[in-house]
Amino acid sequence: MPSDIRVRIAPSPTGPLHIGTARTALFNYLFARRVGGTFILRLEDTDVARSTAAFERDILDGLHWLGITWDEGPGVAGLEEAGPYAPYRQMLRLDSYAAAAERLLADDAAYRCYCTAEELDADRREREAAKLPPAYSGRCANLTPGERAAREAEGRTAAVRFRVRKGVVGWNDLVRDRVEIDTANLGGDFVIVRGDGTPLYHFTVVVDDAAMQISHVIRGEEHVSNTPKHILLFEALGYEVPVFAHLPLILNPDGSKMSKRKSQTAVADYIAQGFTREALVNYFAFLGWSPGTEEDVMDLATLEQRFELDKVQKGGARFDRERLEWLNGQWIRRLADDDLVARLLPFTEAAAAAGVIDRAPAEDELTALLPMVRERLSTLASITDVVGFLWRGLTPDPATLVPKRWDAATALTGLTAARDVLAAHDPVTWEADELEPPLRALVEARGWKAGDLFMAVRMAVTGQAATPPLFDVLVALGRERALARLDAAIAALAAAA
RNA sequence: GCCCCCAUCGUCUAGAGGCCUAGGACGCCGCCCUUUCAAGGCGGAGAUCACCGGUUCGAAUCCGGUUGGGGGUACCA
């Protein structure tokens, strides 16, 4: 059944998709899906100096990548734009802001302000010196027609200021209950249209939310203090005030508001590092919300059914990368084989292009490796940490070829004996189950510890002390390469002796 | 400075007056499994529920104050 609940995410294309924006988008999306409402995406691009098409692309692509879809706005169903309230880009809606500003001016709910940046600056310094909170002086609030004409004759441009009425503005916030703020603390009449005619955020957000019939404004806590301005504007324009819900912020590990300086904030960076959309969505959803049960791994479809705004936390949540990595491992382990391989391929290809490995493995090669790599991946990119030795050359290092409990001479005899056993092994049965018994027999015959011999062989064929199970590794390497690496290790050890 | 908000293990959280000698998860530490590394299983340390006062037979849960933290204070969004 269709609902008249309408929510939106209104990103500003002044930077790449930020984790905070993604999380707010997710909560709006989940709320809309849960209640059968409509989710809208609107681009707030009125900061022309900082907005770019590339950032816009990054934001839309990033949200889609996460699996978040919207019903109206740019990029719906592959279209440039779709929805009954188009356009969904603020720079294309300038007429409506101008009309709304005219209405406010006509009602004397707003007035033209001719103050220069210098005057405003001086005011601010003066109030600062007097230890007063910054606020507009009201210099242009009651200009006579003559005074106005004089300023215009001077060639001054006029910004439009909204008259802030005295009193208390309050609302019933869906996550923090009743909030009330005295308008005396708003800093005086505020600018809604710049001197150059472009509208400001506080104004456009209200005009658009009203025009697009937004019923619930779900946004970050940083907007709590701005909400009275918005409510005043809704009222002055004669619009119904939407319901507000302010989400807790995502914090840096030190507890401050998440920032690029202290944290990795771009969703694209997480994608590039091999985090899965499932893990990211799962993690974001549980940052500030919980189902009230002891479940902690949950997919998008389930979240859509379970999400509830009143279970949202009030306090900010610190970003915990270790927990994200754990969740990522959980999701990697749950992916179907072909899906995992398809997601791994771009990472091995990128590693090859970057020279981290010499060649990128083929699809079926990766598929065959899955059983031994799957539970060892914390990120998709870590595939090269786990089995990168398969795709790059190896230079034996005599110093690392000797296991802890052995000396160089023992390592040399051990590796030589192991090599001979493996070389004598029937090439047709070069399989993990077949290779293990003869080497175990060798260990038995010589009175060694299996772990020591295996470690020496492991270092010789992989160059790493931590790898997937040795016999799987020998099989993945193939007989020729395994023997060649053993030969090289033996030679290096002999040369060093 | 002023305004607003918040406050349970290091972190994310469960908890909506008696079920709490506060539960789960990440991380950490042991043990098991084991050729290393993971994964998995089992166990452990870790929170006098920020503090102080109330209300109540009874408070992590309600009220007030204090402290601490965060956000906001633009012709940015």
pLDDT at A2 (0 to 100): 59
Closest CA to A430 of A370, A365, A479: A479
A20 CB below 7 A from strand B atoms? no
- Tell me which nucleotides of strand B come within 7 A of a protein CB: 1-8, 10-15, 23-27, 35-40, 69-77
**DSSP per-residue letters across A231-268:** HHHHHHTTPPPPEEEEEPPEE-TTSSBP-TTTS--BHH
**DSSP per-residue letters across A268-300:** HHHHHTT--HHHHHHHHHTSSB--SSS-----H
Q: A421-434: per-residue pLDDT in tens?
A: 999 999 999 999 99
Nearest nt to the A246 alpha carbon by C1': B5
Closest CA to A327 of A251, A271, A272, A276: A276
Closest CA to A320 of A247, A250, A253: A253
Catalytic residue among A166, A260, A314, A449: A260
Distance A375 CA to B40 C1' (A): 10
Number of helices and strands in chain A (H, E): 19, 13
User: CA–CA distance from A134 to each of A130, A191, A229 (Å)?
Assistant: 10, 14, 16
Distance A256 CA to B61 C1' (A): 28
Give yes or no for residue A273 having a pLDDT over 60: yes
Is A260 noted as a catalytic residue in this protein? yes
Average pLDDT, integer, range A83-91: 95
Average pLDDT, integer, range A21-46: 96
Average pLDDT, integer, range A207-219: 97
Residue A275 tokens, joined? 């985090």
Nearest nt to the A312 alpha carbon by C1': B13
Higher-scoring residue by pLDDT: A127, A213: A213
Nearest nt to the A466 alpha carbon by C1': B37
Residue numbers 231-250 of A with CB closer than 7 A to any atom of strand B: 248-249
Please provide residue A111's backbone torsions phi and psi, each rounded to the nearest 5 degrees.
-145, 160
Residue numbers 332-371 of A with CB closer than 7 A to any atom of strand B: 333
Give the length of chain A. 497
pLDDT at A1 (0 to 100): 46
Average pLDDT, integer, range A230-248: 97
Average pLDDT, integer, range A2-8: 89
Nearest nt to the A44 alpha carbon by C1': B77
Closest CA to A252 of A261, A244, A243: A261
Distance A170 CA to B22 C1' (A): 36
Give yes or no for residue A185 having a pLDDT over 90: yes
Closest residue (Cα, C1') to B12? A287
Give yes or no for residue A197 having a pLDDT over 80: yes
SS3 A220: strand
Q: A450-487: per-residue pLDDT in tens?
A: 999 999 999 999 999 999 999 999 999 999 999 999 99
Cα dihedral A35, A41, A42, A45 in deg (nearest 10): 140
A194 CB below 7 A from strand B atoms? yes
Distance A352 CA to B71 C1' (A): 45
What is the pLDDT of chain A when averaged over all its residues? Answer: 95
User: CA–CA distance from A266 to each of A23, A52, A253, A260, A410 (Å)?
Assistant: 12, 16, 16, 8, 52
SS3 A171: strand
Closest residue (Cα, C1') to B75? A194
Nearest nt to the A257 alpha carbon by C1': B70
pLDDT at A3 (0 to 100): 83
Distance A294 CA to B23 C1' (A): 9
A87 CB below 7 A from strand B atoms? no
A107 CB below 7 A from strand B atoms? no
Residue A318: strand pairing partners? A251
Closest CA to A243 of A313, A317, A179, A315: A179
**pLDDT grade for A49, boundaries at 50, 70 and 90:** confident
A330 CB below 7 A from strand B atoms? yes
Average pLDDT, integer, range A384-400: 95
A323 CB below 7 A from strand B atoms? yes
A294 CB below 7 A from strand B atoms? yes
**DSSP per-residue letters across A384-400:** HHHHGGGGS-----GGG
Average pLDDT, integer, range A182-208: 95
pLDDT at A451 (0 to 100): 94
Residue numbers 419-478 of A with CB closer than 7 A to any atom of strand B: 436, 450-451, 454-455, 458, 465-472
The residue type at A52: T
Q: A296-331: per-residue pLDDT in tens?
A: 999 999 999 999 999 999 999 999 999 999 999 999
Cis amide leading into A145 (omega within 30):
no
Give the Cα separation of A413 and A208 in Å (integer): 79
Residue A200: DSSP 8-state: P
Collect all residues with Cβ–Cβ distance below 8 Å to A83 and sequence separation of at least 6.
A40, A71, A72, A73, A76
**Which ranges of A138-179 would DSSP assign to H, the alpha helix?**
145-153
**Which ranges of A36-89 would DSSP assign to H, the alpha helix?**
53-66
The residue type at A278: E
Closest residue (Cα, C1') to B1? A131
Burial class (CB in 10 A: 0-12, 13-18, 19+), A369: buried
Distance A292 CA to B14 C1' (A): 6
Residue A311 tokens, joined? 């279970």
A375 CB below 7 A from strand B atoms? yes
Distance A222 CA to B64 C1' (A): 27
